[in-house]
Amino acid sequence: MSTAVFAPSRLEARARVLLPLLLLAVLALLPTAGLTPNMVRLLFITLVWVTSSLGWNLLGGFTGQVSFGFAVFYGLGAYTAALMIDRGVNPYLSFVAAGLIPAVAAVFIGLPTFRLRGPYFAIATIGVSEATRVIMNNLAITGGASGFRIMEHRPFRQVEHYYTALAMAALAVAASFLIVHSKFGMGLRAIKQDEDAAADLGVNPYAYKLAIHAVAAAFTGIAGGVFARYAAFIYPQGVFAFQTSVYILLMPVIGGIGTVWGAVLGGIIFGVVEEQLVASFPQLHLLLYGSLLILIILAEPGGLVGLLGKLFRRLRTPKGKDGDTDSGGRKADQVFRRAGCG
Amino acid sequence: MPEQQIYGFIGPNGAGKTTLFSMIAGSLQPSAGHIRSRGKDVTGSRPFRLVKSGIARTHQIVCPFRAMTVLENVQVASHFGRKDITRTAAARDYARQVLARLGLDRLADTLAANISLGDQKRLELARALATDPELLLCDEICGGLSPTETRAMLDLLRRIRQQGTTIMYVEHDVKAIMAVCDHVMVLNYGQKLAEGKPQEIQNDPAVIEAYLGKAGSEKKGSRIVA
């Protein structure tokens, strides 16, 4: 976090609290502003993505463990909520379960996979994710390849879904900030940079990684559950797809890995753009994501938040008085952050 | 091993000095034998447990958390390495105290990636100290430092000993070891070659042979020049 290096002014500190609240207020008022149902739907989907993105960012961004297996949690959350709501359980109660079950699964997946490091961990998560998809596709309870239709015996109100998603995303942002600024979060950041050094100073890397994996899975699982209730129809090849894993990883990378607002920004951009891309380039959109990923990692590993930060600092620094040590420091920071992300 | 002393380890490359430290600190498991700390068998304990029981180490190759500030680096140690500090503010205060003691306070808010090697070596020591160890393992903390920096570092070690910490010290620089240690052990190929007071070691024929070869020991009156 390069922000810690430059002492923030009082104005900035205040803006840091007020701006998010302002954003929340705007989002809360939007549905009353006469948006079309399709716009509300798009915003709803975006908030679901933002929450998943924040979940992945806890493990991949703050702790440096790049997982390609978050579709497992998204899918498990979706199916947990779907099966419970279908049996008449209160939807909000079922969202709690949609967080808990993926969290438990995350611990069991983590037990063997966190014995591996870096790229080996990433590859193992692909294996777990694909195996889960195949199993789920062949279970009767998931509806198999023909999918699962959720019968909710309540009237459908789009606004209710929207506010549920908004509350979920807001809680995810708040929880992310709480985690990052806690002792737990400091341990995670230490693990990201040097697991062995962290262990020598008293951090238990294995236990910490298991714990944050569970929390991240809970975020993503609840997002999956909220989505499932809205969609009313889910199928294993959709929610458990490898593509879903890639989407969830792509968002924080676009926005700025390892920063809360980066994960949010990435989720928003992805949510707004994704459907357009699929509609315009039904065959090519995955190729576009791949190229985008490579471009970001090569050109601006800090994502959009990193890029904006640079522009902002450049605008603020008077011409000709650019602090040389400053820019050198940032450059080094970038390089090491890149190394830390693997 | 006597407490509240500086216990030096020297030996040629590959003698097993760093390996010994890694085994004591728990990052490597010994293939035979046991490690006892105050009569308690701690063989096979993990590093993050050992550090809480009072054993801390520095690394020969510095490994600061580069994207964290110097203060944050030390704060990780004071927050996680001690049982008695649970609050973040207390951990930060203690980290500041340690930085002040080591003369790093002016760099508190600099990223660890941007400080000099000498300061990074100090930071290694600061992190280990912030865990409030009873036994401090210092692995080549003077390696790559200028003579002035080395002298300052050795003074620091003496002060740490005075405050009641037992130090195990590995260094390539024989001069540094002889200057600061109460007791020295010479290792060669994983075996103990000699042990004793610094003066005794300097005159030990086996040690001279390991360092200078056979020809050296035959020369009359030759000793390791400190």
* Top-confidence residue, B224 or A335: B224
pLDDT of residue A172 exceeding 50: yes
Which residues of A fall within a CB distance of 8 Å from B135? none
Superfamily of the domain at B6-172: P-loop containing nucleotide triphosphate hydrolases (3.40.50.300)
pLDDT at B38 over 80: no
pLDDT, position B173:
79
Q: What does the mean pLDDT of chain B come to? A: 82
Quickly tell me which residue has 């790229």 as its tokens: A119
Is B69's Cβ below 8 Å from some Cβ in A? yes
For the residues B95-109, what does the mean pLDDT come to?
A: 90
Nearest to A190 among B46, B59, B76 (CB): B76
B180-196 tens-digit pLDDT: 888 888 888 777 888 88
The number of CA neighbours under 13 Å toward the Cβ of B131 is: 34
In this prediction, residues A251-277 reach a mean pLDDT of 91
Chain B residues touching A333 at Cβ < 8 A: 67, 111, 113
Average pLDDT of the segment spanning A10-28: 85
Angle at A244 between CA A238 and CA A245, to 5 degrees: 140
**What ipTM, to 2 d.p.?**
0.85
**Cα angle at B1 between B139 and B37, to 5 degrees?**
80
Nearest chain A CA: its distance from B33 CA (Å): 22
CB spacing of A200 vs B68 below 8 angstroms = no
Does residue A328 register a pLDDT over 60?
no
B115 in contact with A at a CB cutoff of 8 Å? no
Residue A298 contacts residue A338 (beta carbons within 8 Å): no
Euclidean distance between CA atoms A67 and A122, whole angstroms: 5
- How high is the pLDDT of residue B46? 82
Task: Give the global pTM.
Answer: 0.86
From chain A, the residues in CB contact with B75 under 8 A are 186
More confident site: A57 or A308: A57
Q: How far apart are CA A175 and CA A216, in angstroms?
A: 11
| Chain A contact set for B111 (CB, 8 A) | 2, 5, 329, 332-333
Q: How far is CA A235 from CA A46, A96, B152, B187, in A?
A: 20, 21, 67, 65
B77 interfacial to chain A (CB closer than 8 Å): yes
Query: How confident is the model at residue A185, as a pLDDT?
Result: 95
- State the average pLDDT over residues A308-329: 62
Q: Is residue A197 within 8 angstroms of chain B, CB to CB?
A: yes
Pick the more confident residue, A143 or B31. Answer: A143
Does residue A333 sit at the B interface (CB-CB below 8 Å)? yes
Q: Is A178 on the interface with B (CB under 8 A)?
A: no
- Cα–Cα distance for residue pair A129/A73, rounded to 1 Å: 9
Helix (H, G, I), strand (E, B) or coil at B136: strand
pLDDT exceeds 70 at position A300? yes
What does the pLDDT read at residue A59? Answer: 96
Tell me how crowded residue A151 is: count the other CB atoms within 10 A of its CB.
9
Length, in residues, of chain B? 226
Distance CA B226, CA B220 (A): 17
pLDDT digits (tens, 9 = 90+) for B135-172: 888 888 888 888 888 888 888 889 888 888 889 888 88
CB contact under 8 A, A5 and B110: yes
Of B27, B51, B28, B66, the closest CA to residue B129 belongs to B51
d(CA B128, CA B119): 14
CB B69 within 8 A of CB B109: yes
| A3 inside 8 A of chain B by CB | no
pLDDT at A342 over 50: no
Q: Which helix (H) or strand (E) holds B195?
A: strand B191-196
Q: How many CB atoms lie within 10 A of CB A168?
A: 22
List CB contacts (< 8 A) between A183 and chain B. 79-80, 88, 91
DSSP element (H, E) containing B208:
helix B205-218
**Inter-chain contact B72–A199, Cβ cutoff 8 Å?**
no
Q: Where are the domains of chain A?
A: 37-341
- Alpha helix ranges (H) inside chain A: 10-29, 37-56, 71-86, 91-113, 118-137, 158-180, 183-193, 195-200, 205-231, 236-239, 242-255, 260-280, 285-299, 303-316, 324-341
Mean pLDDT along residues A226-240:
94
